[in-house]
Structure 1
Amino acid sequence: MHTDRTDRTDRTNRRLAAALAVIASCALAGSLALVRPAGAADTSLKQLSEAKGKYFGTALVQSNLSNSALVGVATSQFDMMTPGNEMKWDTTEPSNGSFNFGPGDTLVAFAQAHSMKVRGHNLVWHSQLPGWVSSLPSSQVQAAMETHITTEATHYKGEVYSWDVVNEPFNEDGTLRQDAFYNAMGTNYIADAIRTAHAADPNAKLYLNDYNIEGENAKSNAMYSLAQSLLAQGVPLGGIGLESHFILGQVPSTMQANMQRFAALGLDVAVTELDDRIQLPASSANLQQQASDYSAVIGDCLAVTRCVGVSQWGVGDADSWIPGTFSGYGAATMYDQNYQPKPAFNASIAALGGSSGSTSPSSSTPSTPPTTSSSSPGGGGSAACKVSDVVSAWNTGLTENITIANTGSAAVNGWKLTFTLASGQTVSNSWNATISPSSGQVTATNMSYNAAIAPGSSASFGFQATHTGNASAPSSFSLNGQVCTNG
């Protein structure tokens, strides 16, 4: 348990972080004062949702905060924020008893500075789980789980609206995953986790969250039975999160009925991680179908009183996790690579009862990169370049967001950026580029959708890595064989 002194120190540190976030956001606001935020409409997603007693949220990671276009959309359109990675176990307790809340505190402070609620994500999950937890003897797992939940939920007490207490507990057939927690405690681990979180933060709404439970099927039936059982035991379960990672055209017709049956148990329901992936390249017809899919999801939520809101996973296609996870797929959000609104944005505004009007030529079609080039894909282009990067590090890990600016007069079509990682750094995953090998001198290669960089334009990508103490950024970069300036 935290002592009063420790708790006061934590709160003071978070207040300092919040103050820094306010200063940074004010500076950013000043830089954007003359630019209408991408996707701005007469009434925003959050305003329309709030008028109907709902919220409209997004997910952010710490490195997003350096992207002014992304931040402009996030703060103008969304009123709920879910940390993408910063509250997960591998970040918050990478080694037994050693807690790291710095990355999460940064995002919470940002949310508070912009009047966003915070969805805590997550406390118990089989994935992104440090190896030390799985290596524990079964007799020690329950104590470790309870300590982790108590420490983290106490740290953020009063600062999160809700917690995804147990994330993705089910297999596709409706059986429970046989992870470290199930193997040590059986089905009782879920009730114990929720009760432990409630003891630490009695006012937070406590959720079970999973994917492929949006419609009525074997997996959602199992979730429904579990919810019934927990409530019958007096477990303080508050809601069910429907992740809603859809494939184009596959929003289930039973989604509203499924939401309603959970609501009838006295539970809130929320669409927690919405995106709708398209096989690339996305056609005009694809984008219209995506607009229909978004409209259907929002309509289902509006029809169920206890559906509290919808959150999109990420802000725009440029920061979406989809391309890096599902090969050949992307364009999964309401905003394109340049954070301009797509048809799905306009359909969402309309579904919420608003009118998006005409925000820009790109409000009905995504931006298309130029096709002219001075280099073959991946070849030795001659365009001048400047590279900037932002590193966010914690005990044994880091994220790095890299932006390549074309400062030359000719377009680049196809790029490879070569740089050397600091000793001890190993890339574990990446987005908006493929990176190989995972350590030493590495090369980041464009995806199909961001191959072209017009003169005066830029492309961004990022990666997550582990480190052994040296979290420094690369000192030099070469684009298609040409050394870039740093800045």
Structure 2
Amino acid sequence: MAAQLRAARRPGRALAALALAAAGGLLAAATVGSGPAGAAGTTLRDLAEAKGSYFGTALTQSNLSSSTITAIAGTQFDMVTPGNEMKWDTTESSAGNFNFGPGDQIVSFAKAHSMRVRGHTLVWHSQLPNWVSSLPTAQVQAAMENHITTEATHYKGQVYSWDVVNEPFNEDGSLRTDAFTNAMGSGYIADALRTAHAADPNAKLYLNDYNIEGLGAKSDAMYQLVSSLKQQGVPIDGVGFESHFIVGQVPSTLKANIQRFTALGVNVAITELDDRMPVPASAANLAQQATDYAYVVNSCLAVSGCVGVSQWGVGDPDSWIPGFFSGYGAATMYDDNYQPKAAYNAAVTALGGSTSSPSPSSSSSASPSPSSSPSSSPSVPPTGAACKVSTQVSAWNTGLTENVTVTNTGGSAVNGWKLAFTLPGGQSVTNAWNATVSPATGQVSAVNLAYNAAIPAGGSTTFGFQANHTGNAAAAAGFTLNGVSCTAG
């Protein structure tokens, strides 16, 4: 995803009030034997481990100052992914000067709570210091190899796995253009994996990406890459499905996709699960979220090579979603008071445990069947619908990201959508998420992906793109949905 997307994962909310509130009862969500979130033998970690799997979370350095977050994390989860603390801009902000202090704090927390660590991430086009991108191409490979070797050696024996290369593909399945492809072409991925293996032979080595969870062009590209790497004898142990979903839009081909990757001889992990919805959350969306969580957990459990599930963050207050997707949130298993939602109960049930229903204030009154799959909207021809569109632009010197929310204001569902619009002069799209966007300039169209084709009546969907600009960072305009003009929302 875009640099600003991941930078938004640095929680910006004050946690002191939550820490104080913990003393007043919020820890009930995480204390063994104190209720549905922590009844003895029914924690996510215990249930997952009983099935030879794991259930993880992501933590940042700032999260460690919240007793509420750490209590839940240490009790419920047995794997931790550092949110930002092992990325290049933190560990080597200037050439040859390494800082492992923030990452060491996450590792220390994991050790104290008998948790394993997913190292995240060694090579990524985003959160990459300017000095790397500014290097002459002849020097990039040496810089990359030195970075990987130094960091992987520092954490040797302390991490379960590494996301060696993160998000290497565009939505159409083409390889991203960045400092590494410019210098080494597609061969940088094999070189990165070999370098990481040499530094820590026992760590599991992964490639990690988003929008590869279902069958499609992007997941096909990852599949072909992994197949090629295996044929070359390149050390690769797994593929990470990030799994940043929208409620009701989890791809129905998730299990089949997991199966085809594991058939190559690699593991699959659900690495960054969340399931966002418009806020304030409705009872219907919370119930659907529970169905989605159960479906994801069951899909992983059904395939022996799927090793575990990690949620991105502990609860809704520390989730990255509200800071990036305007109007969306409630994406995790824990609500704004760190109380378990229906999604938590659904995950526990899918793992073979039993729970009592959460309170109506935080979820629906009944948990879904763990064998159920994501619901789908009625299938109708994509002939157009009444619609409104809202946009949110985040710009910097020569670039921007734009989030676009499309709401179907008509009386019937749309199944299959194409949103046409005009980019301001001087803007050029470089990548997109949750849609295929083309061409790069001028009159542009965004077309749904396989998993988000349906927009129910009154419902909405969100996609976004990153673009370069030459000074005009205004939002796109002139939106039409399947040929019907949309109003501004």
The TM-score with structure 1 as length reference comes to 0.68
- Residue pair 2:270, 2:310 contacting (<8 A) in 1 also: yes
1:31-430 superposed matches below 5 A: 36-38=28-30, 39-42=37-40, 43-358=42-357, 364=363
Q: 1:457-476 alignment to 2 at 5 Å? A: none
Alignment partners' CA distance in 1, 2:357 and 2:228: 50
Q: Please say if residues 194 and 237 of structure 1, whose CA atoms lie closer than 8 Å, have aligned partners that are also in contact.
A: yes
Tell me, which stretches of 5 or more residues in structure 1 are unaligned? 1-27, 367-487
Take 1:132 and 1:34, find their aligned partners in 2: how far apart are those partners? Answer: 44
1:291 aligned counterpart, secondary structure: helix
**C-alpha distance after superposition, 1:149-184 (max 9, x if no partner):** 000000000000000000000000000000100010
Secondary structure, in 3 states, of the residue corresponding to 2:192?
helix
Aligned partners of 1:159, 1:273: CA distance in 2, in Å? 20
Shift of 1:83: 0.1
Does the aligned pair in 2 maintain the 1:41–1:355 contact within 8 Å?
no
- After superposition, the C-alpha distances for 1:312-339 in whole angstroms (9 at most, x for unaligned) are 0000000000000111110000001110
Contact 1:342 1:362 in 2 (8 A): no
- C-alpha distance in structure 2 between counterparts of 1:47 and 1:228, whole Å: 34
Alpha-carbon separation, structure 2, partners of 1:317 and 1:116: 22
Amino acid at match of 1:40: G
8 Å CA contact 2:207–2:238 kept in 1: the answer is yes
Whether the 8 Å CA contact 2:29–2:338 is kept in 1: the answer is no
Asked if the contact 2:333/2:343 (under 8 Å) is kept, the reply is: yes
| Closer/same/farther in 2, CA of residues 169 and 260 from structure 1, 3 Å limit | same
Quote the Cα distance in structure 1 between the aligned partners of 2:64 and 2:188. Answer: 36
Q: Closer, same or farther in 2 for the Cα pair 1:41/1:362, shift >3 Å?
A: farther
The Cα of 1:363 is off from its aligned counterpart by: 5.9
What secondary structure does 1:36 align onto? Answer: helix
Kept in 1: contact 2:315–2:338 (CA 8 A) = yes
Code of the residue aligned with 2:39 in structure 1: it is A
- SS for the counterpart of 2:214 is coil
Paired with 1:281 and 1:338, the residues of 2 have a C-alpha distance of 14
- Structure 1 residues 223 and 273, CA, compared in 2 at 3 Å: closer, same or farther? same
Q: Partners of 1:251 and 1:150 in 2: how far apart?
A: 37
State the distance in 2 between where 1:170 and 1:40 align.
Answer: 39
In the superposition, the TM-score normalised over structure 2's length comes to: 0.67
1:70 positional shift: 1.1
What is the identity, as a one-letter code, of the residue corresponding to 1:205? K
Q: For 2:29 and 2:336, how far apart are their aligned partners in 1? A: 14
Deviation at 1:357, TM superposition (A): 2.1
Q: Deviation per CA, 1:345-399: give whole Å up to 9, x if none.
A: 0111111111112566656469xxxxxxxxxxxxxxxxxxxxxxxxxxxxxxxxx
Aligned amino acid, residue 349 of structure 2: A
In 2, the alpha carbon distance for the partners of 1:113 and 1:33 equals 23
Deviation at 1:274, TM superposition (A): 0.1
Matches of 1:277 and 1:361, distance apart in 2:
19
Q: Is the 8 A contact 1:340 1:362 kept in 2?
A: no
CA separation in 1, counterparts of 2:254 and 2:288?
Answer: 17
User: Structure 1 253/34 Cα, relative in aligned 2: closer, same or farther at 3 Å?
Assistant: closer
Change (3 A) 1:33 1:365: closer
Q: Relative to structure 2, which stretch is displaced further, 355-364 or 136-145?
A: 355-364
Shift of residue 66 of structure 1?
Answer: 1.1
User: Amino acid of the residue matched to residue 313 of structure 1?
Assistant: W
Q: CA deviation at 1:308?
A: 0.3
Query: Deviation at 1:280?
Result: 1.4
Q: Give the % identical residues.
A: 73
CA distances 1:61-94 after superposition (whole Å, capped 9, x unpaired): 0110111111111111100000000000000000
1:279–1:32 Cα change, 3 Å = closer
The C-alpha deviation readout for 1:4-57, integer Å capped at 9, x for no partner, is xxxxxxxxxxxxxxxxxxxxxxxx9x9799953442234111111001000000
Distance 1:216 1:243 in 2: 14
Change (3 A) 1:265 1:132: same
Alpha-carbon RMSD across the aligned residues, in angstroms, is 2.0
CA distance in 2, matches of 1:40, 1:48: 11
The letter of the residue matching 2:232 is Q
SS of equivalent residue, structure 2 residue 201:
coil
Q: Distance in 1 between matches of 2:183 and 2:309?
A: 34
